[in-house]
Amino acid sequence: MSKRLSKMGWIVIIALLTLALVAFPACTQQGEEEEEEEEISIPLKNPGDFVQQSIGDIDSFDPAWGYDNASGEQVDYIYETLVKYNKESTTEFVYVLATEEQIVSTTQIKFKIRTGVKFQNGNDLTPSDVEYSFERAMIQDRGGGPAWMFNVPLLGYSRTRSAGAVRPGIFDKIKNAVEVDGDWVVFNFAIEYPMLQWKQILTQSWASILDKEWCVANGEWDGTADLGTGNATAWTKYNNPTKQTTFLYDKANGTGPWKLDAWEHGEYVRLVKSDNYWGTPVFFNKVIYQIVDEWTSRKLALLNGDADFVYVPRLYIDELAGITDLNAIKDLPELSNDCLFFNLSIDPTSDLIGSGELDGKGIPVDFFTDVDVRKGFCYAFDYDVYLEDVMKGEGTMLGSPIVSPLAGYDPNGKKYTLDLAKAEEHLKAAWGGQVWEKGFTFTMVYNSGNIPRKTACEILAENLFGINEKFLVSILPMQWPTILDSIFYVGATDEVKGPLPLFQIGWIADYPDADNFVTPFMHSYGDFSYYQAYGNAELDAKIETARYMNASPARDAAYKELADIYYNDAPGIMLVQPLGRRFFTKYIKGFYFNPTIPGQPGPLDVMSKSES
Amino acid sequence: MEFRAYIIRRLLLLIPVLFGVTLFIFGITMFFSPGQRATLYVSSPQQMRDLPGIIEQYGLDRPFFVQYATWIGQVFRGNLGWSTVVSMPVAKAILHYLPATLELALVATPLIILIGIFFGTKAAAQKDKPVDHATRVMAILGWSLPTFWLGLLLMMVFYGYFRGFLPPGRLSVQMEVVVNSVDFIRYTRINTLDAILNLNGPVLLDALRHLILPVITISTVNVAFIMRLMRSSMLESLGKGYILTARAKGLDERIVVNKHARRNALIPVITVSGYLFAALAGGAVITETIFSFKGMGWWASQSALRLDIPSVLGFALFMAVLFVLVNLVVDILYTRVDPRVRLGGGVQ
């Protein structure tokens, strides 16, 4: 007996000792963190470089393609535009690759192109490069891409395609839309278009200027219709291409301060200072974007000085509170929103819709065409929990895509709230009662590492299950580029859209106007609404009328009407207009905030890093 | 001569085994639509635009065995399809991500085996003594610690508490630039090995700093397993008659344990170690994710999450081949360790 007790004693003692050894460092750290939270000293590392850690890979380096934060940010560092915003302002501009402008008429504006500028490969910038860059963007006009902002004023259409085919005569319109006139480049609009809005469009990554000679030498569109074949429609092979087929997908050659040095998919992007940069010398030798999905790794990298800026999910902002060596910038008024979009015409080959029938084991491809389904889902979402727990109260819930302070925004406008009784009522009425009786199963996706979006999916899935145990929604993480490929599905037609039944994505203003929130969300050819199969001619006419109205109470009323339509149609579950935050180490200087570029760490060309 | 014949015989046996494996893997693809299966034949982004053409070209609506023959022909040409996760051909993705995982496996496996054998032997030789109890507790702890928890804890301590001492990732920002420079030749993409081959001390040290925590994390669980296996195998050996004879002859106890008993006790450990290496070479998903050590496990898990069929099948095929080859190596090692295993006909 005593021998047995002795054995047990040994086991217990060794177990306790081992546990103590394992647990001690963690406990010590925890304790000290609580007591000395403000005394964490972040060392200065990589003094000449800027290191950012975030969750999403780059979609493409092609300026005409990239329409997401991660891509636009990198493109901005490599390429330059004709004009850019004057620091925080969204209405004042400074010239970059242009030196002068002339508004010739309400349908024509021209810019004088800067001389003495070289591309990173040593080629000189010419007005032809500017003409080529805009024409190429319209020639490419990839589905879900940013080219619509050029198309609308310059061509008079949102897209170069209609009913699944390239519009007749569109090539000539593209060629005539942008012309070289000596040192000047002339933009000829197809419609009267607000010049302020046009210049706002010109500030962003999609308006980057390319090196025509380099592009053509590497197999890009050569500027002609027949591409030297004698076939006048040969150019269409460059229209709406697949992502990786464009040469500029993973290559870059701009006039900006940094050039692309390496892109390891899913791992990192490294930019290095360009020797040919013409502008004011920049501070950072290297700009490094590392993809780190794990929050603890990113946090520790920031606190160790291995990263200068990291993506901080709002759920974890308290973990960085009170650290004096961090520069936490709060309450930035972002012009952005987040939304869950219903796909009204899902690709029948989708793996995410189960059986594809309304039999309890799947959903039909047109499941969300029934407004009662959509409204049932809207009422099933817990907006208060999302705002308080996920967003930490830092934002405003929205009833329509229009955000504050743009025309049509009404803080007291109609908004959905959590109302399970109403959700049940609508879901009972949906599909003639079949939804309630048979139930449904499908999968929602979110971009891997994005905790707020994951939580939004969970809130909706749990509440639907709570309403009826036959309502089964599973949740799947995907990498950011895959989400984009699945939303802006290359195989989408006017009738059939992508494979995601319900997708979640945010929108950041391309230009600070209500039109930039209504068109993408509600127009038949909107960036999101097209891929939802939402919109109709009557609605398009209302949107286009409001677009060209001068700022006035009438314009405000027109957008309020559109906001009401969005609420009544419920094509998506509108979530929040967030307040932005940035977390830098204290060594990073020179940040300023422009609300049209909320996802970026800041204007790196004027930022620096130093002890002082 | 006899040994060479044995190897040739075993290599020939691989053909039917791999035939069965590929048949099984390809059979799984039949659950997918022709359009999805067409992506298996894509080797460039351009081809993604013409899936109907690929369906027709490869006869994806033709009988199963015809399709299998076409697919296996593509596999033999090195075309495993297109990985949408990492935007490159699957074969290239395997070559791209394997070095990171191999580096982890090559460092961790010997460590696991040596520590496991050492403590397993000690525990068995001193059964029911403090060393045995201690190793038992270590094994229980190692076995029961969740990998993600241990990984995060280690990172918080050695990267957080000790201020960047052992960082995640594979290389620091500065060394990443060095290994990608023209002066540094990436022979294998295994950073430690390349650093040695380039005689570059700073890169070697940096790579080792980044390796330590992932290696400790994956070793902890597996050492526990090898340790317990070795202990029980040793106890069985120590109870055998020839050990009694050796002791009766007055042999030194160390020789009895380390030479006579341990050699026989190693057979099950060799079996398990082979599969352990194969499993580690296939990637440690959680460890690679936590430490941003992006290798096969990370790629495979991302592919699975994205329903990237060509990548998942390519990975499955890679794992199948790896396991078959490891099995062969293990069998060869048997013949070296255990003289009872005859090259001609197994245990006699």
Query: pLDDT digits over B140-165, tens only?
Result: 888 888 888 999 999 989 998 888 88
Nearest to B133 among A10, A300, A305 (CB): A10
What is the rounded CA–CA span in Å between residue B256 and residue B239?
A: 12
pLDDT (average), residues B296-309: 82
Predicted confidence (pLDDT) at residue A4 exceeds the cutoff of 50: no
pLDDT of residue A20: 57
Contact A304 B302 (CB under 8 A): no
Q: Which string of DSSP letters, residue by residue, matches A3-34?
A: HHHHHHHHHHHHHHHHHHHHHHHHHHHHHHHH
List pLDDT tens digits, range B214-233.
999 999 988 998 999 999 99
Contact by Cβ (8 Å): A370, A431: yes
Nearest to A29 among B161, B173, B291 (CB): B161
What is the rounded CA–CA span in Å between residue B66 and residue B58?
A: 9
Predicted confidence (pLDDT) at residue B98 exceeds the cutoff of 90: yes
* CB atoms closer than 10 angstroms to residue A512: 20
Query: What is the 8-class DSSP label of residue B6?
Result: H
Name the band, by pLDDT with cuts 50, 70 and 90, for residue B139.
confident
Task: Give percent of chain A above pLDDT 90.
Answer: 70
Contact by Cβ (8 Å): A288, A51: yes
Adjacent-strand bridge partners of A508:
A336
List pLDDT tens digits, range B32-62.
777 667 766 665 555 555 667 777 777 777 8
Predicted confidence (pLDDT) at residue A54 exceeds the cutoff of 60: yes
What is the rounded CA–CA span in Å between residue B59 and residue B57?
A: 6
List pLDDT tens digits, range A394-447.
999 999 999 999 999 999 999 999 999 999 999 999 999 999 999 999 999 888
What is the rounded CA–CA span in Å between residue A292 and residue A607?
A: 23
What is the rounded CA–CA span in Å between residue A361 and residue A562?
A: 36
- H-helix or E-strand spanning residue A333: strand A326-333
**Residues 6 or more apart whose Cβ sits within 8 Å of residue B146:** none
pLDDT (average), residues A472-488: 83
Query: Which residues of chain B does A306 touch, with a Cβ-Cβ cutoff of 8 Å?
Result: 164, 167, 172-173
- Phi, psi for residue A543 in degrees, rounded to 5: -65, -45
Lowest mean pLDDT among A13-17, A209-213, A422-426, B278-282: A13-17
Contact by Cβ (8 Å): B28, B309: no
Predicted confidence (pLDDT) at residue B347 exceeds the cutoff of 60: no
List pLDDT tens digits, range B228-282.
999 999 999 988 888 888 888 888 888 888 888 888 888 888 888 888 888 888 7
pLDDT of residue B230: 93
Query: What is the 8-class DSSP label of residue A362?
Result: B
What is the rounded CA–CA span in Å between residue A141 and residue A584?
A: 36
By CA distance, what is A19's nearest residue in B? Answer: B141
Query: Which residues of chain B does A12 touch, with a Cβ-Cβ cutoff of 8 Å?
Result: none
The predicted model scores a pTM of: 0.79
pLDDT (average), residues A562-572: 96
Predicted confidence (pLDDT) at residue A307 exceeds the cutoff of 90: yes
pLDDT of residue B3: 75
- Phi, psi for residue B42 in degrees, rounded to 5: -80, 135
Predicted confidence (pLDDT) at residue A2 exceeds the cutoff of 50: no
Nearest to A297 among B163, B168, B172 (CB): B168
pLDDT of residue B21: 83
Q: Which string of DSSP letters, residue by residue, matches B105-124?
A: HHHHHHHHHHHHHHHHHHHH
Predicted confidence (pLDDT) at residue A154 exceeds the cutoff of 80: yes
Average pLDDT of chain A to the nearest whole number:
90
Pairing relationship of beta strands A286-291 and A49-54 according to DSSP bridges: parallel
pLDDT (average), residues A443-453: 85
Q: Compute the CA torsion angle A570, A571, A572, A578 (nearest 10 deg).
A: -80
Q: Where are the beta strands (DSSP E) in A394-514?
A: 395-397, 440-447, 471-478, 502-508
Predicted confidence (pLDDT) at residue B65 exceeds the cutoff of 80: yes
pLDDT of residue A31: 43
Contact by Cβ (8 Å): A48, A286: yes
Q: Where are the alpha helices (DSSP H) in A238-317?
A: 295-303
Query: Which residues of chain B does A261 touch, with a Cβ-Cβ cutoff of 8 Å?
Result: 180
Contact by Cβ (8 Å): A187, A175: no
Nearest to A18 among B137, B155, B305 (CB): B137
Predicted confidence (pLDDT) at residue A116 exceeds the cutoff of 60: yes
10 Å CB burial of residue B4 (0-12, 13-18, 19+) is exposed
Name the band, by pLDDT with cuts 50, 70 and 90, for residue A59.
confident
* CB atoms closer than 10 angstroms to residue B151: 28
pLDDT (average), residues A485-503: 86
**Residues 6 or more apart whose Cβ sits within 8 Å of residue B15:** none
- Phi, psi for residue A348 in degrees, rounded to 5: -60, -20
Interface of B with A in 238-267 (CB under 8 A): none
pLDDT of residue A598: 64
Average pLDDT of chain B to the nearest whole number:
85
Contact A244 B168 (CB under 8 A): no
Interface of A with B in 464-483 (CB under 8 A): 476-479, 481-482
Interface of B with A in 272-311 (CB under 8 A): 289-292, 294, 298-299, 302, 305-307
Contact A292 B153 (CB under 8 A): no
Predicted confidence (pLDDT) at residue B348 exceeds the cutoff of 50: no
